[in-house]
């Protein structure tokens, strides 16, 4: 009888430990990777390299407004010297808000894509984009969308197809940006895939084979927000039909944004 009681006790302890372990596994991080409060601001040094040309600029991104119908949705204003960064331009196009405390960060806005001077700009709507979700892990897709836009070039219809994906890229214990070391850093990637064709005299001609045109890698530090954004854009065009009467040069641009100063209020 005593042995049976001992066995039952051991089973009970193992059961309790198992339950506790399961509870620990479902606990989600409550790290604040994007502090949202009026007047929070971030200043970045921007650099862009195209071929042998390098340009630099400075940009301040600040939270300047809240949605009247939903005061948990925040909008941005940016002040730019020389040129603006890609991702801060995306952020300033819309609103960021959170769900479940700090566990989910969501963005509504748009991505205005500029390829070169020969092709018209186009805009990708971004609605319900998850920037961060504590329940997801490295490699998980945060958001995905595809679409098609039509443009007229020299009287010919050009069809451009796109697919954009936001992906969880993992965590780092620390990261140094502009001489400042930040701890608890979360990273995500944005991949933009493009293809394009033009319709000329009963036939479609491919002018851009499907390819990964641009990759944006963002880094967010706990209690700070976006500390770094790297953008790599490489686009190779096909030979352009002579009927279009223009050439489209290939594109190769590397740019980055590094945080140099911030003013953050965490007491909200």
Q: Is residue 240 part of a domain?
A: yes
Name the nearest CA neighbour of 194 among 176, 178, 208, 175.
208
Local confidence band at 120 (pLDDT 50, 70, 90 cut-offs): confident
Q: Is residue 99 part of a domain?
A: yes
Higher pLDDT, 167 or 13: 167
Report yes or no on 84 lying in a domain: yes
Q: How far apart are CA 33 and CA 221, in angstroms?
A: 6
The boundaries of the domain holding residue 70 are: 29-263
Q: How many CB atoms lie within 10 A of CB 251?
A: 17
Residue 14 resides in a domain: no
**Residue 4 forms part of a structural domain:** no
Spatial separation of the C-alpha atoms in residues 64 and 66, rounded to whole Å: 7
Domain count of the chain?
A: 1
Within-domain flag for 197? yes
Q: Which pLDDT score, from 0 to 100, does residue 139 have? A: 98
Query: Confidence class of residue 29 from pLDDT cuts 50, 70 and 90?
Result: low
- pTM equals 0.87
CATH code: domain of residue 213: 2.40.360
pLDDT value of position 192: 98
What integer pLDDT is reported at residue 242 of this predicted model? Answer: 81
261's CB contacts (< 8 A; 6+ apart) are 42, 43
């Amino acid at each position: 009888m005593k042995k049976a009681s001992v066995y039952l006790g051991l089973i009970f302890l193992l059961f309790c430990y198992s339950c506790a372990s399961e509870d620990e596994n479902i606990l989600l991080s409550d790290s604040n990777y994007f502090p949202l409060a009026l007047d929070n601001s971030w200043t970045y040094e921007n650099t862009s390299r195209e071929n042998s040309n390098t340009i630099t600029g400075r940009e301040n991104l600040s939270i300047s407004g809240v949605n009247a119908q939903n005061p948990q949705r925040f909008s941005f204003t940016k002040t730019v010297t020389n040129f603006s960064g890609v991702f801060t331009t995306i952020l300033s196009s819309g609103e960021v808000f959170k769900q479940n405390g700090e566990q989910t960060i969501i963005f509504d806005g748009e991505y205005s894509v500029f390829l070169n001077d020969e092709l018209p700009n186009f805009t990708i709507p971004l609605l319900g984009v998850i920037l961060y979700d504590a329940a997801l892990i490295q490699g998980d897709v945060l958001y995905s969308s595809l679409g098609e836009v039509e443009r007229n070039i020299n009287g010919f219809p050009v069809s451009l197809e796109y697919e954009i994906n936001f992906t969880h890229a993992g965590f780092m214990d620390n990261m140094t940006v502009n001489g400042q070391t930040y701890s608890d850093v979360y990273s995500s990637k944005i991949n933009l895939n493009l293809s394009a064709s033009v319709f000329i005299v009963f036939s479609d001609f491919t002018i851009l084979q499907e390819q990964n045109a641009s990759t944006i890698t963002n880094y967010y530090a706990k209690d700070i927000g976006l500390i770094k954004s790297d953008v790599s854009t490489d686009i190779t065009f096909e030979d352009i039909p002579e009927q279009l009467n223009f050439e489209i040069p290939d594109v190769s641009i590397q740019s980055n944004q590094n945080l140099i100063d911030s003013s953050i209020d965490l007491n909200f």
